[in-house]
Amino acid sequence: MEAQAERSNGSKTLSAWKKRREHHNVTLDSGMEVDIIFLDLGKLIQGDAVPKELQQVALQQSLAPGEAVRKIFEQVEKGDTEETLKLAQQLDDLDKWMVSESVVKPKLTREDVDELPPGDVEMLCDIIGRRRKTDAKGVFLGVVPLDLFATFRDLHQGVEEEGHPAGLDPECAACVEGVERLSDLGVGAL
């Protein structure tokens, strides 16, 4: 009954909003489908959920994303291999811990993550870190901006539509250009 009420209200309820952090059937590079939730690293740090050995690098990533990677590059330039390797390992451990906490189905342990295909782990890190908005099939994890599809309408203005088949026409210059533009935006196969 509550789900029906949420649908009739256009899902404008607090419970519907809270569920937006969940994403089901996310397809990874290997073809595996998983269910994930988005985590808030800052809240995890405040709640002492982050393992002690990862708290420093987690705090750094939370306050200044990308700063640790910049620091690694600086250390490499200076030839400081020992500190570079230590920081790189901490970042890798943090990423893998975040993956184990974010994937809810199938449930993973931190050790499980080491045995997963590296491409899947990298994709999950990008999704969880909000650096990627689509899964391997090109499905948006969130709302698809409708203006992405305005391209086809815009490109077909002034094009004689009589005789144009339904859908994409590989002989139509406007259709071909529209597909190329969308493909450049990374929305996946149409």
- Express each pLDDT in 8-45 by its tens digit: 455 678 888 887 778 888 999 999 999 998 888 888 88
Give domain status of residue 7, yes or no.
no
What residues make up the domain containing 161? Answer: 146-184
- Predicted TM-score (pTM) of this structure: 0.65
Residue ranges of alpha helices (H) inside 54-172 are 55-63, 67-78, 81-102, 110-114, 118-128, 150-156
Tokens of 184: 């450049």
Tell me, yes or no, whether 31 and 92 share the same domain: yes
Q: So what's the pLDDT on residue 7?
A: 42
134 domain residue, yes or no: no
Same domain, yes or no, for 159 and 85?
A: no
> Does residue 103 lie within any of the structural domains?
yes
Average pLDDT value for residue range 55-66: 84
Residue-level pLDDT at 13: 86
In this structure, the answer to whether residues 25 and 92 fall within a common structural domain is yes
